[in-house]
Structure 1
Amino acid sequence: MDVHQYDKAFYTGKINPRILVCMTDQSIDVSTLQDAQRPLEKNHLQDIADYVSPRTKGMLPASVMIGTRDDRLKLQQEIAPDGTVRYFIFFPETPEEARQYENSIDIIDGQHRLFAFANKYRDAEMKDSTIYEVPFSLFITPDLRTRRQLFTVTNEKQKSVNPNLLLFLKRQLDMLNQVEMAYYPVVDSLNGVENSPLRGRIIMSAEKIAKGYKAKELIKILDKAKLSQFRVAGEALTVEGMVKVISTYLNAWEIFYGLEYQHPGKETMTKISGLRYILLLLPTFLDYSVSRREKFTKEFVLSVIQKLADCKGLAEGQTLFDRSLEFRGEGATVKMAADDATELKSYLADLDSEGFNPFA
């Protein structure tokens, strides 16, 4: 079908993507620098290949945008019985025929979707005989001005979906991945239960909450802390158990520093960077509770926070959040939390052993 927009025309149709990919520049590979495309990303290619495999039967309804490079693909027309003009192009029908058309098309948009059907990426169960077609929009040897317009509309004018909103939509469609399934219920409960310091403070989709904490970011932090892997008497924590632990833990930090997540200010502790640092230390606190056979109460957490402050040699008036540079970037905060956790474990071990040296 021909489509006209002002003085430009393009044509739409459908095609077997396993054939179409053979008609592209076969020298293009992962990380290859291209003139008007970002480099292919192997993980993204594999994700799409897995998605469209016969196991998951994923659909790709959005059109691939392509342009001819030369006259090997000829646009032809015929007059229909009703007098209308119909346009068509004879595409190759087998991989062998397609090789004669190698490098006859440029991919303007959709290269990852198309290259996911290349032999090196596509699922072994995706046979040549498996029925799978993709829609396309075809431009006949587009000039530079047209290519610039298409580049702009497909790259600069597109507004990506808010990752946090995307997480919410995936939850509604039952499409969460394994990590998200493990922690989404925890974050959702933390946002709703009455005794949670984060109640009503978590942005679950795209709602506006001043100085709120995004659900996607909290899930990422909890996964980094490996909270779902913590075991008590060989049993993993339930969702309710994790919510109770996190609520007790955060409440103790609020008491220790006289701050509230319900009323965040300029203090680092109530920002996402401070919350990241605190939550990444949680497994160390839990491990110590188990090793000491002490209940995980606010009083216990308060005592360990004090030991952490002593371990860091903080003077009166100083806090664990004074190291501003380490809280400016996620990587620096993660490293600081890991270093402090290691230092705290050693400090607690020395306290419990009262400095006993078996080799003295």
Structure 2
Amino acid sequence: MKKVKVIPFIQKEKTFFLLSYDPREIIKLVEFPEAGKVQDTQRPWDLSRVKEISQYVAGLINLDLSKMKDRSKRKAKGFIPNCPILNIHGNVKIIEENDEYFILLPETIDDISSSKGNVEILDGQHRLISFDSDQLNENFKSHELFQMGYVICNDLTQDEKTEIFIFSNEKQKTVDKNVLRQLMRWLHLLSDNEEDLYDLVVKLNKDTYSPLKGRISVGGEKVKHSFKILQVIKILEKSKTITTLTNQKKLKLEKHFKVLCNYLKAWEHVFPGKFNHPSHTLGKISGLRYVMYLFPTISEILKDQRKKTTVQNLEPILSTLRNSILTDKFFESSENNTDLLAFRGETSTINLSEKHGGILKSIYINSNDEFDPNN
């Protein structure tokens, strides 16, 4: 057996140890079931997650954690600096010599075979299973030096193993996706188009001209009645608002920021006390979704009228919407008010917006003359 030095640390009279070792060797000592099988102190492991980590370690994942279809993005190095938690027993044991501690790890094929199952994974099973010989990506060089850190627990009881698993998983919070997007922007990991759109939404949140100033949570901060930046970005993209603004060209930050603000200001003027008021349907994320899905249609109407996207030109169109469709009665809460209930779901909100956009088009559009109101 091979002696490898470990560093002890004590928590409430229980001694744990820190180990640095090759995961390709550690996983040989773990007896894990097939993917999807129930385990005593672990969740069923997922094959696709293991393969994803294997690709990451092999350098086949972009730094935005997407597959490397876009070669222009920065390639991940494949670092895994966080530590799996292991419980050892049987042949794999801790010994003390001259006030130092060592773990005994098998080296020969026979020792490895007889020690199979003497290492249990309490946390980090997907990371470790990705280093199993059957899961390692072929692009990962077998001779490449790759060590990981481990927290070693020695002969834990079933209750202790269960507690560690629960704390390591249920009690931990994932990083807010808005925070990750902010970090990616700072590190220039976004594409040019993604950066432009991110900067546009940040400006909508910061600039005093914007009706949405202060209403967008950009970096995971707690803002009362706020929209998350990824929500707003998704709405601008899926509603084809950005495509309408750019006409398939590059986003022009200042110019298109003003167009969007004019549009939102017109909503504020025509629907005072409703649009952008957190307690009203039009002031919630579903209301913003409805408003932005109408933008391409209203832009099309202005194009037909050969008018620019100004507050003054937008107000008559929105007034028609208010007087004929979004009346005070429309917003009266009732179980029979199916249109108002549509705001409770994303798909139904989109469908309602498209329905109302069709009504506006039938009222206003009379020709196919070419005119771009946003440029």
**If the length of structure 2 is used for normalisation, what is the TM-score?**
0.74
CA–CA distance in 2 between the matches of 1:144 and 1:290?
70
Structure 1 contact 268–321 (Cα < 8 Å) conserved: no
Checking the alignment, whether the CA contact within 8 Å between 2:304 and 2:366 is kept in structure 1 is: no
Q: Confirm or deny that 1:84 pairs with 2:99.
A: yes
Counterparts of residues 304-343 of structure 1 (less than 5 Å): 304-306=317-319, 308=321, 314=325, 316-319=327-330, 323-328=339-344, 332-341=345-354
Alpha-carbon distance in 2 for matches of 1:174, 1:21: 36
Query: Is contact 2:84-2:124 (8 Å) kept?
Result: yes
Which residue of structure 1 aligns with residue 252 of structure 2?
238
Q: What corresponds to 2:372 in structure 1?
A: none
Identity of aligned residues (%): 25
Rounded to whole Å, the distance in 2 between the matches of 1:110 and 1:145 is 19
Deviation digits for residues 37-89 of structure 1 (CA, Å, limit 9, x no counterpart): 33445665455444433341132221101123x52x4215363xxx3233122
Aligned to 1:185: 199
Q: Deviations over 1:271-294 (max 9, x none)?
A: 223123222333333455456654
Alignment correspondent of 2:298: 285
Query: CA contact under 8 A between 2:92 and 2:118: conserved in structure 1?
Result: no
Cα shift at 1:4: 3.0
Alignment of 1:1-360 (within 5 A): 1=6, 2-29=8-35, 31-41=36-46, 44-45=49-50, 47-54=52-59, 55-68=75-88, 71=90, 73-75=91-93, 77=95, 79=97, 83-92=98-107, 102-118=116-132, 122-176=136-190, 181-230=195-244, 232=246, 234-259=248-273, 264-290=277-303, 293-306=306-319, 308=321, 314=325, 316-319=327-330, 323-328=339-344, 332-341=345-354, 344-345=357-358, 348=361, 352=365
1:227-248 residue CA offsets vs partner (Å, 9 max, x unmatched) = 4444655424333344223212
Distance 1:162 1:194, change over 3 A: same
| Structure 1 residue 223: Cα displacement | 3.5
Aligned-residue offset at 1:21: 3.5
Q: In the alignment, residue 18 of structure 2 is paired with which amino acid? A: T
User: Structure 2, unaligned stretches of length 5 or more?
Assistant: 1-5, 60-74, 334-338, 368-375
**RMSD of equivalent CA atoms:** 3.7
* Conservation of the 8 A alpha-carbon contact between 1:248 and 1:297: yes
> Do the aligned residues in 1 keep the contact of 2:287 with 2:343 (CA within 8 Å)?
yes
| Distance change >3 Å, CA 49–CA 101, structure 1 → 2 | same
Alignment check: 8 A CA contact 2:85 2:123 kept = yes
Structure 1 SS opposite 2:85: strand
In structure 1, give the amino acid aligned to 2:101. R
TM-score by length of 1: 0.77
Q: CA separation in 1, counterparts of 2:115 and 2:300?
A: 63
- Contact 2:331 2:340 (8 Å CA) reproduced: no
52-61 or 285-294: bigger deviation: 285-294
Contact 1:14 1:133 in 2 (8 A): yes
35-44 or 147-156: which moved more? 35-44
- Helix, strand or coil: the match of 1:67? strand
Contact 2:83 2:151 in 1 (8 A): yes
Alpha-carbon distance in 2 for matches of 1:84, 1:152: 33
Distance in 2 of aligned mates of 1:170 and 1:254: 33
* Match of residue 358 from structure 1: none
Q: How many residues align?
A: 341
Q: State the Cα distance separating 1:180 from its structure 2 match.
A: 5.3
